């Protein structure tokens, strides 16, 4: 049985979410609710990179919080800009 | 009283200041794009159709994979004894640089294609943002590859070990930031309408 470590699991999730995002665009499936799902999955992808690739998961919380807040503000800005 | 240990981000403190500044800069560009779109949604949506989503998708896979290879290189140095670790990490770094190189080739061919179609910075506001954001990001990838190449050269001569890998982590953090920026750029420029 193949056992994947946390980095490989994170990588697989990132690839799957990217395929999902591409499919939404390619088949023109973006509507109100799927747009929000896309934004949430983008936040998830960003936080995976921050936590596992940048290795900020176990550091002092404030250092991890800065890029997470950045990600949150940018994505909220996109939601507000596109839908309100 | 037991003092709580503060764990700092991996790599040099200076790189994290650069990373946070870069994130803010790109963040402002992203929001500028979004709010310019509000003024002329039709123009942005019709211009976006001229972009190739598939090449954007392939580039995302390439950058994510390249970032993962760098993670593996750092993990190798942390895990194995120096000789074995250096050999494995060098292979991973070669793969990361290779994927970064393919990203640049695809992006460059996209730029050339657009220019040959007569599309440039002054075509309209969408393409102004498209070129500004993607060329700016392209330059970051280029710089990241130069950093990775230098790290690889040092790794090859067993320059890093599990007690001294700060330099490698510094370069790796920069490379992951480039990846993080693309994670937003891809849906924003290519997908969302």
Q: How many CB atoms lie within 10 A of CB B122?
A: 9
Query: In the structure encoding, which two tokens stand for residue A26, read together?
Result: 């390619």
CB proximity B135 to A under 8 Å: no
CB proximity B61 to A under 8 Å: yes
For the residues B64-93, what does the mean pLDDT come to?
96
pLDDT at A30: 85
- Per-residue pLDDT reduced to its tens digit, B15-57: 999 999 999 999 999 999 999 999 999 999 999 999 999 999 9
pLDDT at B1: 54
Bridge partners (DSSP) listed for residue B164: B161
- Per-residue pLDDT reduced to its tens digit, A38-54: 999 999 999 999 999 99
Residues 6+ apart with CB under 8 A from B39: B125
For the residues B150-172, what does the mean pLDDT come to?
96
Tell me the C-alpha distance between B56 and B54, whole Å.
5
The alpha carbon of residue A37 and the mean position of all alpha carbons in its chain are separated, in whole angstroms, by 10
**Which residues of chain A lie closer than 8 angstroms to B53, CB-CB?**
22, 25-26
- Per-residue pLDDT reduced to its tens digit, B9-23: 999 999 999 999 999
pLDDT at A32: 82
For the residues A7-34, what does the mean pLDDT come to?
94
Tell me the C-alpha distance between B182 and B127, whole Å.
17
CB proximity B60 to A under 8 Å: yes
Between positions 11 and 40 of B, the ones with CB within 8 A of A are 16, 19-20, 23-24, 27, 30-31, 34-35, 37-38
Chain A residue at shortest CA distance from B190: A25
pTM of the model: 0.94
pLDDT at A31: 82
Percent of the residues in chain B that have a pLDDT greater than 90, as a whole number: 95
CA B170 to each of CA A43, B22, B25, B36, B147: distance values in angstroms, whole numbers, following the listed order: 24, 15, 20, 35, 9
pLDDT-derived band at B193, boundaries 50, 70, 90: confident
Delineate the domains of chain B, giving CATH numbers in brackets.
13-191 (1.20.120.80)
CA angle B56, B60, B65 (to 5 degrees): 150
Query: In the structure encoding, which two tokens stand for residue B55, read together?
Result: 């090449």
Is a pLDDT exceeding 70 seen at residue B5? Answer: no
For the residues A70-74, what does the mean pLDDT come to?
97
Tell me the C-alpha distance between A8 and A10, whole Å.
5
Residue B171: its H or E element: helix B166-185
- Per-residue pLDDT reduced to its tens digit, B57-71: 999 999 999 999 999
Which of B18, B184, B188 to probe the A interface (max A CBs under 10 A)? B184
Distance to chain B for A14, nearest Cα, Å: 7
For the residues B87-112, what does the mean pLDDT come to?
98
Residue B35: its H or E element: helix B13-39
Is a pLDDT exceeding 70 seen at residue B6? Answer: no
DSSP labels for B105-127? Answer: HHHHHHHHHHHHTT--TTS-HHH
Which of A24, A54, A72 to probe the B interface (max B CBs under 10 A)? A54
Spell out the domain ranges in chain A: 21-83
pLDDT-derived band at A83, boundaries 50, 70, 90: confident
Tell me the C-alpha distance between B176 and B132, whole Å.
21
Tell me the C-alpha distance between A19 and A5, whole Å.
21
CA atoms within 13 A on the CB side of A17: 24
Residues 6+ apart with CB under 8 A from A3: none
Distance to chain B for A4, nearest Cα, Å: 12
């Amino acid at each position: 049985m193949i056992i994947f470590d946390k980095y490989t699991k994170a990588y697989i999730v990132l690839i799957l979410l990217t395929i999902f995002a591409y499919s939404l665009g390619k088949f023109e499936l973006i509507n109100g609710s799927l747009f929000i799902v896309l934004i949430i999955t983008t936040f998830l992808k960003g936080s995976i990179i921050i936590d596992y690739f940048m290795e900020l998961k176990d550091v002092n919380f404030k250092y991890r919080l800065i890029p997470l807040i950045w990600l949150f503000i940018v994505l909220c800005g996109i939601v507000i800009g596109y839908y309100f | 009283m037991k003092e709580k240990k503060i764990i700092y981000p991996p790599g040099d403190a200076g790189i994290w200041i650069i990373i946070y500044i870069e994130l803010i800069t790109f963040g402002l560009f992203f929001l500028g794009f979004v709010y310019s779109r509000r003024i002329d949604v039709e123009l942005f949506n019709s211009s976006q159709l001229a972009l190739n989503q598939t090449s954007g998708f392939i580039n995302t896979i390439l950058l994510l994979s390249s970032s993962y290879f760098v993670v593996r290189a750092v993990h190798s140095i942390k895990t194995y004894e120096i000789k074995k670790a250096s050999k494995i990490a060098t292979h991973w770094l070669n793969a990361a640089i290779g994927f970064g190189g393919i990203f640049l080739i695809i992006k460059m061919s996209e730029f050339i294609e657009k220019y040959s179609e007569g599309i440039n910075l002054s075509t309209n506001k969408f393409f102004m943002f498209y070129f500004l954001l993607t060329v700016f990001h392209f330059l970051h990838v280029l710089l990241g590859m130069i950093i990775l190449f230098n790290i690889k050269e040092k790794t090859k001569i067993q320059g890093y070990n599990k007690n001294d890998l700060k330099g490698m982590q510094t370069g790796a953090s920069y490379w992951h930031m480039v990846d993080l920026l693309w994670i937003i750029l891809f849906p924003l420029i290519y997908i969302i309408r």
